[in-house]
Chains A and B, each alone.
Chain A
């Protein structure tokens, strides 16, 4: 965890999360297989986010889910879960643990700040709590998860330096 910004009513922290990207049909068997590996039912509505103290589980689209581990796990354990999920023909689970970067954005001015980088509508009526979105931030493809008063933003690791530079650049302008 690295504190990047804490000023002007915006707090940004880089987090070390791990992630599995899951594809499947979302039917009963799919849910059972997932539930066997983690004790959290996959969200059923598009863009819905379920969370507990261990995971963020989001439904990205009709056949895609992301499972984010909020506390760093033994990597072997993650790979084991992936292997178990992949043993089912109807599921594709891919390891996204170290190819992504994660930023937690909070503070009273977080929306205004992020709207310097994206046109995304953060208003409660358009982006309610426990929902997710895929949009461009600083012209790169990002996922945003809204959890109460904070956002978790994730993007490809190759953009890490660029993304952080853009955040730091704008906070002072």
Chain B
């Protein structure tokens, strides 16, 4: 490990670990990030840039990093990971991205040579023609070259969600956040403190700026504060957790890395997505240093000054002994002091401010330590082969001086990290003193503290916190903060320096992630993109995964100068969540694979599994689709077999999923007459009736069988997937339209398991099971039901059929369901009783001509369209949808109507969903529209007829009875003539 170490650093454990970068093993320390580990090994070249494949190094020391993105090979091949925040561990295997064949020799860097033609808007202007090139040449080529890392394959991450309901959320465990937390210790407020790092302290651990707090050194003070918080009964700390999103109302999302600095255990959750609902949010998330644009400001070796200092103080590694420092503000002297403390010395201190504007203390310190000082100067550019070797300084007399240096540390000022504040819809304002935007008016219960609020002065911090948190009515804090630097922040505006060397390949970048140059900004404005949102999209400025954290204000500065406007007039682009990239695995949580959607099972489910059922999803229900007799039996064969057997002897279907609703009250009859199209007034008790429910638009909503126990008590069945909707529909009308009706309804779907048994042998089977009941036609006619005692409970049997055969529906408590089901099979064995699934149910009902709501209907079908006029109670005064049925549109004769369809050539099969047309000779290539009559809604091969039978919704279908129609095939070129009947 050749780099110099800061042995005073308390945040790195000196236990050695091994990391692999691009196939080569390196030593690092436990607690290192990938970036600090690479710096420790003097590796400056980390990757290649997005567009021009320029060599790139480590630019920052945090979430704002635009350059150092790497692929983690041993973590599901995770791409685009920020080396500056990814914690290293023993055995981590990393590789660089966007290069081939190697990082040092990358063929893609030819793009840099061609860069003069890849200016802003290149894609929009270039790929306009010739016609056909986009699909065949441009798009495949762009897709192949686009992106940085390679997407992971066979990726299966485990992440979970954790909800929190709290009183106060503190975002950031830095100085301000810790002071706020101290104030809230042992109060009645339930507080959550969230810190993105594995250590608390923020600026106290990242820099040398603060000397002592209340007479204690900063490390001791942070330790004491953390212990105080942990001992309290009201504050919880989450480390390695980044708040990414601030939603309405005070709902924040944070992502915790459970394996920060550790090898992933695939049996545990890697990430926790915290969903935090709070009453108040304290944003103490600090600031981000911005860069300055100059020639070749992207070369490896250019690193932001505060990041350089963070590597020294937080990670105990000195990236370079003699860096050049380039600044426009007072904060960088802290870096100089950190270096001097380690017996290192900057090779140059370049300050754009006039000598008289620079703090005396800074000037004296530079002179005292014999540091070459260049006031009123700026960096013109830097040069080198894949790293900084020379720095060019334009001095106060406009001369260009060259110095040798392997690192250059610019600082363009500090931006309050207002991202979360603006996500919360808070308003920001431009502050001329700090030359940046800072929070102004909060939209939610948001409080900003410390540098995020634009307060860079430590002496004011206590007062600010006491004032802003006074509404909580807790004791005032009184802490004395001693600093190593002058506390009053001063800065001069500087966004870009003047470039002398005119080279087509020298670039001054404004967005390092997306390779956008300052020249691109100027060109875009010249082309008319002078609105900041348009400019952003045209140039892709600040649209990378870093969202321009170190550069977006700089681009506003440059644009404002070109447009000759104030920055506040130019405005900002919209800050959108997330603050930093979130993986889809984290967002999905456990709602993936087997838990993608909740599953509902009937009480007979395990029997179905044992008997080789193949399931289909009906809503959330798992329903047997068909039962395989043997492994090789296809669905077609199984359905044909089940259908034939049911028609020949008997079949049984698990119909437990059907919705069941109990309706009771003195006005139940009136209510049912209003809810359904049918009339129930003359219906005898203990009889049942097939009924239709319409929406207010007159369209069919659901169907079912209504059992009338008496005028005050009904039980209705619904479709499986329609049950919740029907219950809600009934409840809504009871509560809003007809509150005068004294009716109560309960869902009893789960309280009764339902079996539908049908076929010619049904009566014989069922008589053997329920020996006390007379199932004869005389005593148990069609559409009647009986309740009787079975074991310890009550069962209900209804004579009804959805197959056209003799059929009964049995309703039994789930407690006895499997026992009864098996009993039916025991007695049904002699009669060849077969279990059948939903596909056979559909086939059997289609043979009979019964409709399925949701298959023949689609929310645009009236009862008249499917020839269900007979189900409408003509003498009924009113029912839901009645008025709509009288509308001219619903009464039209040329509406789509339900017809049966059979192919003329019986060897042909018609697919569901195919279009029905009148045109006999459908052209092989359809160039002009062909009149569309309708579509095939159901189609099956009938084993009893031995040919295809289908249903279709066709325009004026009733008038076309007996006519020959044509059905297009999926290929659209062939046609089958068919006859509707």
Which of A74, A96, A98, A118 gathers the greatest number of chain B CB atoms within 10 Å? Answer: A98
Q: 14 more A-B contacts (CB under 8 A) besides A100-B750, A157-B750, A173-B268?
A: A90-B742, A92-B662, A92-B665, A94-B746, A95-B813, A99-B750, A116-B160, A116-B161, A119-B163, A119-B275, A156-B749, A158-B602, A158-B621, A169-B595
Docked-complex contact A121 and B745, CB < 8 angstroms: no
Docked-complex contact B813 and A92, CB < 8 angstroms: no
Contacts of A63 in B (CB 8 A): 744
**Interface 9-residue window, one of A33-41, A42-50, A51-59, A159-167:** A159-167
- Whether B794 is near chain A, meaning CB under 8 Å from some CB there, is yes
Docked-complex contact A173 and B666, CB < 8 angstroms: no
A169–B593 alpha-carbon span in the complex (Å): 13
How far in angstroms is the closest Cβ of chain B from A73?
11
Give chain B interface residues in 732-769, CB to chain A under 8 Å: 742, 744-746, 748-752
Docked-complex contact B744 and A118, CB < 8 angstroms: no
Docked-complex contact A123 and B165, CB < 8 angstroms: yes
Docked-complex contact A75 and B793, CB < 8 angstroms: yes
Which of B268, B666, B712, B815 gathers the greatest number of chain A CB atoms within 10 Å? Answer: B815
A-B contact pairs, 23 of them (CB 8 A): A23-B746, A24-B744, A74-B792, A75-B813, A91-B664, A92-B665, A97-B815, A98-B751, A98-B815, A115-B162, A115-B165, A116-B161, A118-B163, A120-B163, A126-B165, A139-B597, A139-B598, A158-B601, A158-B602, A159-B600, A169-B595, A172-B267, A173-B158
Contacts of B595 in A (CB 8 A): 162, 165-166, 169
A4–B466 alpha-carbon span in the complex (Å): 49
How far in angstroms is the closest Cβ of chain A from B102?
40
A158–B656 alpha-carbon span in the complex (Å): 10
Which of A63, A158, A169 gathers the greatest number of chain B CB atoms within 10 Å? Answer: A158
- Enumerate chain A interface residues (CB-CB to B < 8 A): 21, 23-24, 63, 74-76, 79, 86, 89-92, 94-100, 112, 115-116, 118-123, 126, 138-140, 156-162, 165-166, 169-170, 172-173
A100–B164 alpha-carbon span in the complex (Å): 28
A123–B277 alpha-carbon span in the complex (Å): 12
Give chain B interface residues in 703-748, CB to chain A under 8 Å: 712-713, 742, 744-746, 748
- Whether B599 is near chain A, meaning CB under 8 Å from some CB there, is yes
A40–B958 alpha-carbon span in the complex (Å): 62
- Whether B859 is near chain A, meaning CB under 8 Å from some CB there, is no
Docked-complex contact A119 and B277, CB < 8 angstroms: yes
Which of A89, A139, A156 gathers the greatest number of chain B CB atoms within 10 Å? Answer: A89
A105–B368 alpha-carbon span in the complex (Å): 69
Contacts of A122 in B (CB 8 A): 165
A123–B163 alpha-carbon span in the complex (Å): 12
Docked-complex contact B664 and A92, CB < 8 angstroms: yes
Residue in B closest to A19 when the chains form the complex, CB atoms: B751
Contacts of A161 in B (CB 8 A): 599, 601
Docked-complex contact A92 and B745, CB < 8 angstroms: yes
Among B590, B600, B662, point to the contact of A166 (Cβ < 8 A).
B590
Give chain B interface residues in 346-378, CB to chain A under 8 Å: none
Contacts of A158 in B (CB 8 A): 600-602, 621, 750
Docked-complex contact B664 and A173, CB < 8 angstroms: no
Residue in B closest to A121 when the chains form the complex, CB atoms: B165
A86–B601 alpha-carbon span in the complex (Å): 30
Docked-complex contact B751 and A169, CB < 8 angstroms: no
Docked-complex contact B746 and A156, CB < 8 angstroms: no
- Whether B269 is near chain A, meaning CB under 8 Å from some CB there, is yes
Asked whether A89 and B712 contact (CB < 8 A) given A63-B744, A116-B160, A118-B163, the answer is yes
Contacts of B591 in A (CB 8 A): 139
A123–B268 alpha-carbon span in the complex (Å): 28
How far in angstroms is the closest Cβ of chain B from A162?
5
- Whether B603 is near chain A, meaning CB under 8 Å from some CB there, is yes
- Whether B814 is near chain A, meaning CB under 8 Å from some CB there, is yes
Docked-complex contact A23 and B751, CB < 8 angstroms: no
Residue in A closest to B794 when the chains form the complex, CB atoms: A79
Docked-complex contact B163 and A92, CB < 8 angstroms: no
How far in angstroms is the closest Cβ of chain A from B627?
20
Contacts of A123 in B (CB 8 A): 165, 190
A23–B602 alpha-carbon span in the complex (Å): 26
Docked-complex contact A157 and B598, CB < 8 angstroms: no
A160–B792 alpha-carbon span in the complex (Å): 23
Contacts of A138 in B (CB 8 A): 598
Contacts of B158 in A (CB 8 A): 173
A14–B594 alpha-carbon span in the complex (Å): 22
Give the dominant DSSP class at B's interface: mixed
Contacts of B590 in A (CB 8 A): 166, 169-170, 173
Contacts of A118 in B (CB 8 A): 163
How far in angstroms is the closest Cβ of chain B from A118?
7
Contacts of A173 in B (CB 8 A): 158, 160, 268-269, 590
Docked-complex contact B748 and A98, CB < 8 angstroms: no
Docked-complex contact A94 and B748, CB < 8 angstroms: yes
Contacts of A162 in B (CB 8 A): 595, 598-601
Docked-complex contact A98 and B163, CB < 8 angstroms: no
Among B160, B277, B597, B751, point to the contact of A121 (Cβ < 8 A).
B277
Task: Annotate B603-630 by CB proximity to A: 1 below 8 A, 0 otherwise.
Answer: 1000000000000000001000000000
A23–B271 alpha-carbon span in the complex (Å): 45
A170–B158 alpha-carbon span in the complex (Å): 10
Docked-complex contact B792 and A76, CB < 8 angstroms: yes
How far in angstroms is the closest Cβ of chain A from B667?
10
A126–B752 alpha-carbon span in the complex (Å): 36
Docked-complex contact B751 and A116, CB < 8 angstroms: no
Docked-complex contact A92 and B815, CB < 8 angstroms: no
How far in angstroms is the closest Cβ of chain B from A46?
15
Among A75, A100, A116, point to the contact of B163 (Cβ < 8 A).
A116
How far in angstroms is the closest Cβ of chain A from B275?
6
Docked-complex contact A170 and B165, CB < 8 angstroms: no
Residue in B closest to A62 when the chains form the complex, CB atoms: B735
Among B160, B742, B744, point to the contact of A170 (Cβ < 8 A).
B160
Docked-complex contact A92 and B601, CB < 8 angstroms: no
Contacts of A112 in B (CB 8 A): 162
Give chain B interface residues in 34-69, CB to chain A under 8 Å: none
How far in angstroms is the closest Cβ of chain B from A72?
11
A91–B750 alpha-carbon span in the complex (Å): 21
Docked-complex contact A95 and B602, CB < 8 angstroms: no
A23–B590 alpha-carbon span in the complex (Å): 37
A78–B694 alpha-carbon span in the complex (Å): 36
How far in angstroms is the closest Cβ of chain B from A12?
17
How far in angstroms is the closest Cβ of chain B from A137?
10
Contacts of A126 in B (CB 8 A): 165
A46–B170 alpha-carbon span in the complex (Å): 35
Contacts of A89 in B (CB 8 A): 664-666, 712, 742
Residue in A closest to B158 when the chains form the complex, CB atoms: A173
How far in angstroms is the closest Cβ of chain B from A160?
8
Among B603, B662, B794, point to the contact of A94 (Cβ < 8 A).
B662
How far in angstroms is the closest Cβ of chain A from B409?
43
How far in angstroms is the closest Cβ of chain A from B369?
53
A95–B746 alpha-carbon span in the complex (Å): 10
Residue in B closest to A166 when the chains form the complex, CB atoms: B595
Contacts of B190 in A (CB 8 A): 123
Which of A23, A166, A172 gathers the greatest number of chain B CB atoms within 10 Å? Answer: A23
Docked-complex contact A92 and B599, CB < 8 angstroms: no
Contacts of A74 in B (CB 8 A): 792
Contacts of B750 in A (CB 8 A): 96, 99-100, 156-158
A100–B792 alpha-carbon span in the complex (Å): 18
Docked-complex contact B267 and A79, CB < 8 angstroms: no
Contacts of B713 in A (CB 8 A): 86
How far in angstroms is the closest Cβ of chain B from A27?
12
How far in angstroms is the closest Cβ of chain A from B595?
6
How far in angstroms is the closest Cβ of chain A from B725?
14
A91–B161 alpha-carbon span in the complex (Å): 42
How far in angstroms is the closest Cβ of chain A from B252?
13
A90–B621 alpha-carbon span in the complex (Å): 34
Residue in B closest to A21 when the chains form the complex, CB atoms: B746
Give chain B interface residues in 385-399, CB to chain A under 8 Å: none
Contacts of A94 in B (CB 8 A): 662, 746, 748, 751
Give chain B interface residues in 238-284, CB to chain A under 8 Å: 267-269, 275, 277
